[in-house]
Structure 1
Amino acid sequence: MRIGRLRIGRFRRGLVALFVAASVAVPLSGAARPAAVPAPAPAALGPIAAAGLDARYTANRGNILAAEKMADDYGNRRRARALDAMAEPGRNFLSFDGRDGGRTVEVFGDLAHAERIAALVPGSDTNLDLYARLRNGASALSKQLGPRAAVIAWMGYETPATVSPEILTPGRADDAAPELTSFVRDLRSAWPTARTSLLCHSYGSVVCAKAASRVDVADIVLYGSPGTGFDTAAALHTRATVWAGRGGADWISDVPHASLRLPFLTLGFGTDPVSRHFGAHLFDAGPGGHSDYLAPGSVPLKNIARIVDGQSPIAPSSPSQGVRHA
């Protein structure tokens, strides 16, 4: 018992230390956050529907071009270059809001005729200026899945900075969960027969967990997760199959998997999703790091694609390559 109390005490002290360090670092890292670059209001669009996708894509491309001009006039060349790339022919956005750090929902593949849909929910430091990382992962997964599947990069919330107090608290996820719930509800209404999965990276797994009981999806896949804010997969109260995986070199394994309730906030996200106690179905996430889960040709990319397809992940070729329970 004494050893258990000491371990919990270390976890709590670790969380407080991380919070204090992040609080001190915020003024130093503020310059790295996306500036409030001017942008037009989003295009006025109705509910998502298969029949109106082309018109929707065209309207959002026009909005992106308008935002690019405003960013260029403002003198933010980095933002203007990012928006210029987003407006390239062949790129398709269900929604776009260029204000502040930006909100975007991009489609990869033929959504109109999709039989499987995978929505990616990203973690920290995902914004218009750093959007290429999310796009590259979505594109790689789309290629792995092939035809009759659509991948959606859902950047529908203000993500926390990796070095900030918000990264240790559920506040941003509390704000994001209703938006994700509404988006999935629209998808399910427009494509009721498609097999739909949520793929949740890092802090995005906290968002998915908070929305889990209100979304109708086949799978919820947690990878590179710091925790979910729930003690067990059963506590998510979802009919979806809950999966979890972590790469062998992912630094997230060193984050204390505990939670500490303070008078005005909660620090940390509790049980490690790859632990026996959490109770998720585990998949082999290979030897990679925190940003490697959707790398082309990687073990986790192949296994996540199999989950989206409704297949079992490939078992590791040796015990040392598998997911280790915490």
Structure 2
Amino acid sequence: MTTGTTGTTGTAGNRAVAPATTALRTGTARPARAHGRLRRTALASLIAGAVVFPISAAASPDVPAPAPAAFAADAAPHTRYAANRASLAEAARMAQDADRTGRASKLRTMEAAGAAQFLTFDGRGKGRAVEVFGELETADRVTVLVPGSDTTLDTYERFRAGAVALQQRLQAEHPRSAVVAWLGYDTPGTVSTTVLTADRADEAAAELAPFLDQLGAMAGPGARLSLLCHSYGSVVCARTTTGPAVGDIALFGSPGTGAGSARELPTGARVWAGRGADDWIAGVPHVRLGAIGFGADPVDPAFGARPFAAGAAGHSDYLKPGTESLDSLAAIVLGTTPDPEATHA
């Protein structure tokens, strides 16, 4: 990943160079200014290197697909599911006809996963999909998973696997649970400059906030919503305004949120943060240089989030069956995690 630079040419460029040249000739150069530039460059490079090195970008070919199905605001979930299954099948056919065999194979895998319940499906470009696991219309505990970088239709299966594992874990204790895998935005590529800024997160938050309002109307009466936000998804959640139906927000594998503390987030929900011992993102510098970087570390006690145990989880392991992190996230959703503030009161 590289950060963009701009050059100065012509007369303006000469004006910019002249003072530095004069200073060198007279021995009055300003080392502090040069040091500041070097420091900013070094920090930006460090952020980029820490984010880019552990993960390679996933290819997301621009493939043909039908326009997504349109629905009335009050359309029932099962009406949406049926229309989106048809759209998924057509997208797979069009991808195959266009010789995009990789995407076609991924879409057929999504089709074969049973009676898929998609509230949204768009097979164009990187793709978007919002899939429900469980009976949304009767659920009183609804969890929305928000993914991080490089989550596309081409890598959807790994995102889906986490949603399935969480749903199975929740239903073991609380049958009236539903999990929503929300790939409702164009995630940034890990090897790109977009993953270092909040631009994509701001766009996603503008989509996620109204979706949460609609979801509350689709779910069972008085349903309690939780947001579980992974990696760059934690930046998205930190910028999403939530209503009273959202009771908890959990940030995990987070590079930071762009906020200085949990109190700055536009939500009245309880905010949790956890990081596994084997998560490489712990090495990402928690700095912010202009629009680059995300600042304070959410697991730092000074940030003010409630901590949860994530065990030895690596960056992609938080929702794996049998892990301490999955147990902790399930407890947050179900409201069975002891409140650290109450414990220390």
**TM superposition score category, shorter chain reference:** 0.7 to 0.9
How far did 1:118 drift?
A: 0.1
1:41 aligns with 2:67: yes
Conserved 8 A contact 2:149-2:231 = yes
1:253 aligns with 2:282: yes
Q: Residues 1-326 of structure 1 correspond to what in structure 2 (within 5 A)?
A: 12-18=40-46, 32-47=58-73, 52-88=76-112, 89-146=114-171, 147-191=175-219, 192-212=221-241, 216-261=245-290, 266-312=291-337
Q: Which amino acid aligns with 1:121?
A: V
Q: Distance in 2 between matches of 1:255 and 1:107?
A: 33
Q: Which amino acid aligns with 1:78?
A: G
How far did 1:33 drift?
A: 2.5
Q: Distance in 1 between matches of 2:300 and 2:265?
A: 16
How far did 1:20 drift?
A: 6.5
Cα–Cα, structure 1 residues 22 and 239, in superposed 2: closer, same or farther, change >3 Å? Answer: closer
How far did 1:163 drift?
A: 1.2
Q: Which amino acid aligns with 1:46?
A: A
Conserved 8 A contact 1:205-1:225 = yes
Q: Distance in 2 between matches of 1:22 and 1:287?
A: 20
Cα–Cα, structure 1 residues 214 and 168, in superposed 2: closer, same or farther, change >3 Å? Answer: farther
How far did 1:78 drift?
A: 1.1
Gapped runs of 5+ residues in structure 1?
Answer: 1-7, 316-326
Q: Distance in 1 between matches of 2:120 and 2:322?
A: 30
What is aligned with 1:320?
none
Secondary structure, aligned partner of 1:33:
coil
How far did 1:48 drift?
A: 5.2
How far did 1:74 drift?
A: 0.8
TM-score, length basis structure 2: 0.81
Conserved 8 A contact 1:303-1:313 = no
Secondary structure, aligned partner of 1:218:
strand
Number of residues of Structure 1 aligned to a counterpart in Structure 2: 299
Mean Cα displacement is larger for which, 267-276 or 215-224? 215-224
Q: Which amino acid aligns with 2:179?
A: V
Q: Distance in 2 between matches of 1:16 and 1:254?
A: 14
Q: Which amino acid aligns with 1:194?
A: A
How far did 1:314 drift?
A: 10
- 1:171-211 CA distance string (max 9 Å, x none): 11011111000110101233351110000000000000000
Gapped runs of 5+ residues in structure 2?
Answer: 1-35, 341-345
Q: Which amino acid aligns with 1:175?
A: E
Q: Distance in 1 between matches of 2:131 and 2:191?
A: 26
Q: Distance in 1 between matches of 2:147 and 2:38?
A: 29
Secondary structure, aligned partner of 1:243:
strand
- 1:211-267 CA distance string (max 9 Å, x none): 045674100100000000000000114210000000001011000001011xxxx00
- 1:267-303 CA distance string (max 9 Å, x none): 0001000001100000000112000000001001011
Q: Percent identity?
A: 52
Q: Distance in 2 between matches of 1:64 and 1:273?
A: 37
Secondary structure, aligned partner of 1:198:
strand
TM-score, length basis structure 1: 0.86
Q: Distance in 1 between matches of 2:133 and 2:249?
A: 19
